[in-house]
Structure 1
Amino acid sequence: MAIQGKVVAITGASSGIGAATARHLASLGATVVLGARRTDRLDQLVDEITAAGGTATAVRVDVTDADDVTSLVDTAVRRYGRLDVLVGNAGMTRIGPLADLDVAGWSAMIEVNVKGILHGIAAALPTFRRQGSGHLVTVVSTSGLKIVPTQAVYAGTKNAVRTLLEALRQESTDGTLRTTSISPGYVRTELIDNALDDPAAREQARQHMADLGIDPAAVARAIAFAIDQPDDVEIGDLTIRPTRQG
């Protein structure tokens, strides 16, 4: 597999899709450099991967801080000599009608979901250009494909990122950079935990996610599929959702 031997950095790696991707890619022979704010969870994940025979390193990363994301890339290059793939997975959501005027929530989503990805591009692109190759894999969402009430700003941030990656793709047709947008539907993660202030509504949303959502490992396999293509093949967009999702 083309994944074996690649050095892959992952943001939002302490849980959910990020952690599942770290486990899966490491099991396929990739070296993984894991970034997130919850370093206790990262350290546990590194221990788990190492015990299974893989190679992993943890770095504390808040994607809203450009220096943190640069540190993630620099750690990969310093320890392993290169960075082949950056998986931009860190994200957050706030659910509610626009009329709620959740300005703080809107700003937080823009900081994490949009600026966090821009920070990743700014950190990784010089390394990719210097190496002559690199791959940006970014987790967006089906929320940007099917617009529904209460998710306007969240969907907007995800569509902004999809637009950024398409423009970057068109600016990078010299064969040195690949970009991939992964759009998961309902996945059993902790994303919903801070999405709602009302406890009853939050618990209802959690239950719906648990009943309908797919395992994060399914998204990890999709990410691996995109990475595993030959260097001259780019999977631009990949949507993965539960078969029961409307």
Structure 2
Amino acid sequence: MTVSPVPVGKVVLITGASSGIGEATARRLAASGHRVLLGARRTDRIAALAEDIRGGGGTADHRALDVTSLDSVRAFARAAHDTFGAVDVLVNNAGVMPLSPLDRLKVDEWNRMIDVNLRGVLHGIAAVLPLMRAQGSGHIVNIASVSGHRVDPTASVYSATKFAVRALSEGLRQESRDLRVTVVSPGLTRSELAEGISDTAVRAATRDLMDIAMPAAAIGAAIDYAIAQPAEVDVSEIVVRPTAQG
């Protein structure tokens, strides 16, 4: 009798893995048998998360990561390749959301959103694309937002970065025949993003909305679904909202 080999999970790189969607995605994908490399600035958190995943029988490693630095992101991708022998999936998840009305002129916060939410995604693509092209396959999952489909007061710059993520993802998808590209646009999700809002009134209003927010695990499940499809199937875009969100 011929025994089929046990499938080996994909090698998945996750940026912004220290909390929220990144953490939930790491747990979900590791539970599905994938090998995950966790990246974030808060190394104590990703070290604890990786240890917890391994304690549950999963495969995980971690590395300090600053997505605003191309060198840091390239080193992250090389570490995954050196450790696991491939780079199958990149989840470009790192993001910041310091909402404020434009007339507050919080230019440093605007630039931070551009650097993390957009430039960080571009750095991720630049780091893994050569590796994926060389191996003839790969999957890039970019986390956008429902704010990349609509614009609300106080979210102008944040929305601009997320509209841009959707645009560059679609361009990459059209340029690719051997790579898959997925955009996941979450609605209100429980995370620490609201804590980065320096405008006290906007932070309070955003916290109030969290009553209807969905768990971050919902986004991890959506990513798991996209990754699990056959190589010839590209789940190009998924929008996931809480049922109660307008």
Which TM-score tier does this pair reach, normalised by the shorter chain?
over 0.9
Aligned to 1:205: 206
Aligned to 2:4: none
Aligned to 2:217: 217
Q: CA deviation at 1:239?
A: 0.2
| Equivalent of residue 184 in structure 1, options 172, 186, 191 | 186
Rate the CA distance shift 1:4–1:207 in 2: closer, same or farther, 3 A: farther
The answer to whether the 8 A contact 1:4-1:28 is kept is: no
Q: Which whole-Å CA distance do the structure 2 matches of 1:127 and 1:233 have between them?
A: 21
Aligned to 1:54: 58
4+ long deviations beyond 3 Å: none
Structure 2 counterpart SS, 1:29? coil
Q: What runs of 5+ residues in structure 2 fail to find an aligned partner?
A: 1-6
Q: CA deviation at 1:230?
A: 0.2
Aligned runs of 1:91-240 on 2, under 5 Å? 91-173=95-177, 176-198=178-200, 201-209=202-210, 211-240=211-240
The answer to whether the 8 A contact 2:15-2:91 is kept is: yes
The two structures, once aligned, show a CA RMSD in angstroms of 1.4
TM-score normalized by structure 2?
0.95
The answer to whether the 8 A contact 1:141-1:183 is kept is: yes
Q: Which whole-Å CA distance do the structure 1 matches of 2:27 and 2:41 have between them?
A: 18
Structure 2 counterpart SS, 1:168? helix
Q: CA deviation at 1:4?
A: 5.0
Matched positions, count: 241
1:37 aligns to 2:37 (yes or no) = no
Aligned to 2:84: 80
Q: CA deviation at 1:202?
A: 2.1
Structure 1 counterpart SS, 2:199? coil
| Equivalent of residue 21 in structure 1, options 25, 34, 45 | 25
Q: CA deviation at 1:203?
A: 3.5
TM-score normalized by structure 1?
0.95
Q: CA deviation at 1:205?
A: 2.0
The answer to whether the 8 A contact 1:24-1:217 is kept is: yes
